[in-house]
Structure 1
Amino acid sequence: MKKKRWLKWSLISVVILIVIGVFGATLYMYQYAFVPGQKSFLNNGKPSKFYRDNQKWLAKANKVKWYQKSATDDLKLDAIYVPAAKKTTKTIVVAHGYMGYKEDMARYIHLYHDLGYNVLAPDDRGSGESEGDYIGYGWPDRLDYVKWIKQVIAKNGQDSQIALFGVSMGGATVMYTAGEKLPKQVKAVIEDCGYSSISGELAYQLNDLFGLPKFPLFYTTNLMARVRAGYNFSEGDATKSLAKSKLPIMLIHGAKDKFVPTKMVYENYKAANAPKQLWVVPDAGHGEALAKQPTAYRNKVAKFLDQYWEK
């Protein structure tokens, strides 16, 4: 009898320890992946001259602040609007990457400004000067971008023409946004190195950084994200959004991307159910396409957009 009782309490103790361990690991993973802050796994080396030069350009550029409330959670969101040098109805809305902020997009803002467009660059929830204590990976943010689009139309007029552009997490954000019901003024989407799903990216990182399988932390972390951040990250699937979207899309990815694996761009391209163009850039890592091939990048995005602007 004593042996059975000892075995029973031993099993209970083991189960309790496992539960405590999984809960602690889940808290760690949520803090690691979903709470804004400095991330050790990101490359925070010295910024390149290309990056610094564009930051200096943006600091001096003519720009104004825009604000709005988030579509959910009542957060104040911040953006900068850089008007074109010559008045135009064409605006590019740009979405930044993971742990980035609007000023990080300076090189892309500069590019589209030089092409003659207005540019709106928001800070996502929990990023830059926007309120929020979680990273949305583009999924809740997609609804905020619908509101930013409507603000562009309200301020610039019903004859506005708008294209969406994003890099990394921002690439996923604009693909998610493309799957929503959008005003007719939105004409096209360009995404650069966005993931095909939040689940796929997090599972890849869980294995790449920690050598861990999806079970159980992937699922327990999703549960915690639903409780603390208010969204189910397994719903964030760019392939499903692209299958619904009728917007022309250009997909760009580095052939040597190890952060968002290059295979994901092929998944997105296959899913896209509209006019589409794919450019995989040789020798480019994550988010390096513009820096590696600036002239080709400029020419390709300009040519793509010119096909879909109303003359």
Structure 2
Amino acid sequence: MAIDPNSSLYQLTGGLRPGRGNAIPPARDVAALPVFNISFYNQRGNLISGWLALSAPHAPVVILTHGTPGNRIDMVSRAAFLFDHGYNVLLFDFQSYGESQGAFSTLGMVESEDIIASITYLRSLPDTDDSKIGVLGLSMGATAAVLAASRTSDILALVAESCPVDATRVPGDVPNDQVRTADKELVEDVYDVDITQARPIDVVNRLAGRTAVFFINGDNDSETPLAGMYQLYKTAGKPKQYWVVPGAGHAQSFAMSPDDYVSRIDAFFDTYLKNVA
């Protein structure tokens, strides 16, 4: 569907076109961990680009999913400490971000399909075909991860950092109802999905008993306020836990408290990915 860039619909939906994020360097130039290039197709036929780093064959895999705006570069530092702790890690650009194909963001809806496609890809590789899988999702990446985990039992552990209750109510992405209505129209026309269903609060209870979930939020987050994290935690079933990071703004928990962040994330994934039969 071609959209007139001078139309009101195009102008109102600018939040769905935040740009592709920082330039992706060659894999050989990533000093933090030994990644190599990978790609796979999502169910819509878009080629999704990413990196994989293998710590050990058949070790658990953590998939890291970025927010908006952004791409896989934003998740490298998190991937590095997980790799150093013995995890295989997969980072990729959601459709329409970084080097991946796609028209524009859907705030987690189609992006959740990308996560499921990445799991299918991992299952096709001899070194990860039987690996236990976790996801660390940041902001929109957390929305997509919760939506994906509600539709597959392959995700055994999920870190949802700065996760919105409703992705179409995050003011930095969707500032008002007029924009929300325009976003809904555009996404339905192009992707045939209802963007107003990007609501982790409606599906997080489906993870109960099969996916352990760890909610992380700063107490100074104006995009995904702390009250929303408490609402998600209350709605989710067990196993579940949460951590409030004092002073942290949106998606800033790692930067605000790096040592505590690393130890808590490592311990969570160890419990639900490494230390299980």
Identify whether the pair has TM-score above 0.5, normalized to the shorter chain.
yes
- Mark the CA change 1:117 to 1:291 in structure 2 (over 3 Å): closer, same or farther: same
The whole-number CA distance in structure 1 between the counterparts of 2:112 and 2:91 is 14
- How many residues were matched structurally? 263
Secondary structure of the equivalent of 1:251? strand
Which sections of structure 2, spanning at least 5 residues, go unmatched?
Answer: 1-5
Q: Which has the higher helix share?
A: 1
Of the candidates 135, 142, 154, which is equivalent to residue 171 of structure 1? 142
Q: TM-score, normalised by structure 1?
A: 0.77
State yes or no: 1:241 paired with 2:212. Answer: no
Which residue of the partner structure matches residue 262 of structure 2? 298
RMSD of equivalent CA atoms: 2.5
Aligned to 2:76: 106
Match 1:277 to one of 230, 241, 259: 241
Q: 1: CA distance between counterparts of 2:150 and 2:171?
A: 21
Asked if 1 retains the 8 angstrom alpha-carbon contact of 2:107 and 2:168, the reply is no
Q: Distance in 2 between matches of 1:198 and 1:242?
A: 14
Deviations 1:246-288 (A, max 9, x none): 3110000111012222222122112212311010100111111
Letter of the 2:164 partner, please give it: Y
Q: Distance in 2 between matches of 1:232 and 1:66?
A: 30
The verdict on how the C-alpha distance between 1:101 and 1:167 changes in structure 2, with shifts beyond 3 A counting, is: same
Q: Is the Cα contact below 8 Å between 1:252 and 1:279 reproduced in 2?
A: yes
Determine whether 1:136 maps to 2:102: no
TM-score (norm 2): 0.86
Contact 2:9-2:182 within 8 A present in 1 as well? yes
Q: Which runs of 5+ in 1 are unaligned?
A: 1-22, 45-54, 208-213
Give the Cα separation in 2 of the matches to 1:161 and 1:280: 27
Aligned pair 1:66/2:38, yes or no?
yes
Partner SS state of residue 143, structure 1: helix
Q: Which residue of 2 aligns with 1:126?
A: 96
Q: Is it true that 1:37 corresponds to 2:37 in the alignment? A: no
Distance 1:99 1:132 in 2: 14
Task: Decide which of 163, 183, 193 is 1:221's aligned counterpart.
Answer: 183
Change over 3 Å in CA distance of 1:159–1:221 after alignment to 2? closer
Cα distance 1:204–1:221, how it changes in 2: closer, same or farther (>3 A)?
closer
User: 1:36 offset after TM fit, Å?
Assistant: 4.0
Overall identity of the aligned pairs, in %? 22
Letter in 1 for 2:203: S
Amino acid at match of 2:35: K
Q: What CA distance in whole angstroms lies between the structure 1 residues aligned with 2:11 and 2:58?
A: 48
